[in-house]
Amino acid sequence: MALKNDHILRIIKECYWDYNINPEHIINIVNGNDYRLKKKLFEKIVYNSTHKLFDLGLLFNKKELKKMFDEFKPSYNISYVERYVLILRNLLFGENNKIGILEWKKR
């Protein structure tokens, strides 16, 4: 799916509410070579986006995502974010990470 202005505006609204940033800046980050900025965008999406899976799959290729997920260490709300990261890894990469709190309990 192509990157549309509505998607970028939603990402800015949800993830960069505390910055003065425009859609062109997001596009430049995604298309650019500055890994630090890409990683910051990745982290902002993981922490704040309401459409994490959609946004990450739309903005980054699998190789970049894999590297960013491998390097990612949550800094706050750790148990919630770690659980969400495992879910995203399962969906994006077909991994089979167990998430204890989400498993069915045997009776």
Nearest of 41, 39, 53 to residue 89 by alpha carbon: 53
The pLDDT assigned to 28 comes to: 93
Judge contact between 66 and 39, C-beta under 8 A. Answer: no
Closest to 71 in 3D by CA, of 96, 35, 30, 34: 35
| Average pLDDT, 10 consecutive residues per value, the chain (107 residues) | 80 92 92 95 95 94 95 90 91 84 71
The Cα–Cα gap between 87 and 101 comes to: 12
What pTM did the predictor assign? 0.86
pLDDT value, residue 77: 87
Sign of CA dihedral 49, 55, 59, 64: positive
